[in-house]
Amino acid sequence: MTSAPPRTVLNRLLEALPPADRVHLLERCDSVQLVTAQILYEPGDVIHHIHFPTSAFVSLVSTADGPDGLQTGMVGNEGALGYELSLDVQRAPLRALVQGGGMAWRLTAQSFAQELEQNSKLKRILNRYVCVLLMEFGRSGLCNRFHLIEERLARWLLTTQDCAHSTHLALTHEVLGRMLGVRRVGITNAATALHRRRLIDYRRGVITITDREGLENAACDCYRANRRSYAHLIA
């Protein structure tokens, strides 16, 4: 097991715990490396661990027949993977696909269950986080149906930047199209429009956000609504 002082913790859910509870929890965690394109679990898989990302970020993908799917959410250092365990659900409902490699704190399902029994503050934070995700999932369906591709792309890029903590995002149009459920030509047209407005630049599979404020104005209100929900319930 790996323990660390609170100053090294970069996960916002863990930061929301009282210092003594946070240190106690971290003493039971391992620090692990998550690799880009790694699949943590597929729908129906048994969830053996809960992950609290620090520098990694992971897409939650709803799948149908075949390997493709539609992104319904993203988890970075503001959240947790395997949160279903807090609801006494042991099997994953969605695919968890690592979009950006990095570090995470990992706790076994058994240890996590013990912590939930002993720590009411941890349970409260996880319950609130599940509520945040439910609101985000609901907005995602609304967004995919009613909002323009350009608005949706701007929202997705902002969310990715929040998780990656970088203005340079290693994303191809193919990946963006797959995650947004849009044909590649639609992503190309939307990215070109944002580029012409000097909000982003892109080359060789890397998108650079050049005007964060402008991109926020270009995004649909779903992005701001998601941030408000998290701030109200967690932060």
Q: What is the structure's pLDDT at 3?
A: 43
Q: Which helix (H) or strand (E) holds 179?
A: helix 173-180
CB 49 within 8 A of CB 30: no
Measured distance CA(222)–CA(140) in Å, rounded: 8
Pick the CATH number of 148-219 from 2.40.420.20, 2.60.40.10, 3.50.50.60, 1.10.10.10: 1.10.10.10
Residues found in the chain: 235
Q: What predicted TM-score, i.e. pTM, was given to this entire model?
A: 0.90
Q: What is the structure's pLDDT at 69?
A: 81
Measured distance CA(177)–CA(3) in Å, rounded: 40
Which CATH superfamily hosts domain 6-142?
A: Jelly Rolls (2.60.120.10)
Fold match between 6-142 and 148-219?
Answer: no
Mean pLDDT by 10 residues, the chain (235 residues): 48 96 95 96 97 96 79 94 96 95 97 95 96 93 92 95 92 86 93 97 93 97 96 89
Q: What is the structure's pLDDT at 216?
A: 97
Listed by start position, the domains of the chain span 6-142, 148-219
Q: What is the structure's pLDDT at 66?
A: 66
